[in-house]
């Protein structure tokens, strides 16, 4: 009915097939929502603009644009931003002079991403974490995360 009214139908024609009690309820709901003017029973074209203007959605900044809590929602396309996100992850997962097994790294990365192999690879590719050639141990490289704040 709301769609019919938005497309130019009158309230009366839109609710004609309803019982009298349903007509009253629907008319009241349309008026209470601000979609229909109570006097003229006509559609109020600015209703959605007014609702959108009254609702403020805060803009997320920095790494918050890419995470929900600790969970990475997407990796930034911008390589510098991606590096900053990964540096934050490395600083959360590793401590200075700590050497971890691949299993330990995976366990610590799991809260950040479902695909821990990709995240682990990114940390190595961005030279934030170094990996032994046999893949058994991982440690911070000292290039950034140690100076990052959580």
Encode pLDDT of 26-74 as tens digits: 989 988 988 888 888 888 888 888 877 877 777 888 889 999 999 999 9
pLDDT score of 150? 34
Structural domain containing residue 95: 62-147
- Residue 104, pLDDT score: 96
User: CATH code at 72?
Assistant: 1.10.10
With 50 as the cut, is the pLDDT of residue 1 above it?
A: yes
Nearest alpha carbon to residue 115 among 66, 73, 145, 76? 73
Single out the residue in 36, 54, 72 at which a domain terminates. Answer: 54
Q: Do the bridges between strand 71-72 and strand 137-140 make them parallel or antiparallel, or are there none, so unpaired?
A: unpaired
Residues 79 and 140 in one domain: yes
Residues 48, 68 within the same domain? no
15: Cβ contacts below 8 Å, ≥ 6 apart: 1, 22, 23, 26, 27
Question: Residues 71, 110: one domain?
Answer: yes
Q: How many domains does the chain have?
A: 2
Give pLDDT, residue 129. Answer: 95
Question: Model confidence over 81-106: pLDDT tens digits?
Answer: 999 999 999 999 999 889 999 999 99
Average pLDDT over the chain reads 88
Q: What is the pLDDT of residue 85?
A: 96
- DSSP single-letter state for residue 143: S
């Amino acid at each position: 009915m709301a769609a019919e009214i938005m497309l130019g139908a009158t309230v009366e024609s839109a609710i004609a097939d309803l019982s009298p009690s349903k007509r009253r309820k629907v008319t009241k709901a349309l008026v209470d929502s601000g979609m229909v003017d109570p006097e003229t029973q006509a559609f109020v074209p600015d209703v959605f603009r007014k609702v959108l203007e009254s609702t403020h959605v805060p803009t997320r900044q920095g790494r918050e644009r890419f995470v929900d809590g600790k969970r990475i929602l997407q990796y930034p396309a911008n390589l510098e931003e991606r590096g900053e996100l990964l540096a934050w992850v490395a600083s959360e997962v590793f401590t200075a002079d700590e050497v971890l097994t691949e299993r330990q790294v995976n366990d610590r990365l799991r809260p950040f991403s479902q695909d821990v192999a990709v995240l682990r690879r990114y940390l190595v590719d961005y030279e934030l974490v170094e990996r032994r050639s046999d893949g058994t141990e991982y440690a911070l490289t000292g290039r950034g995360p140690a100076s990052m704040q959580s």
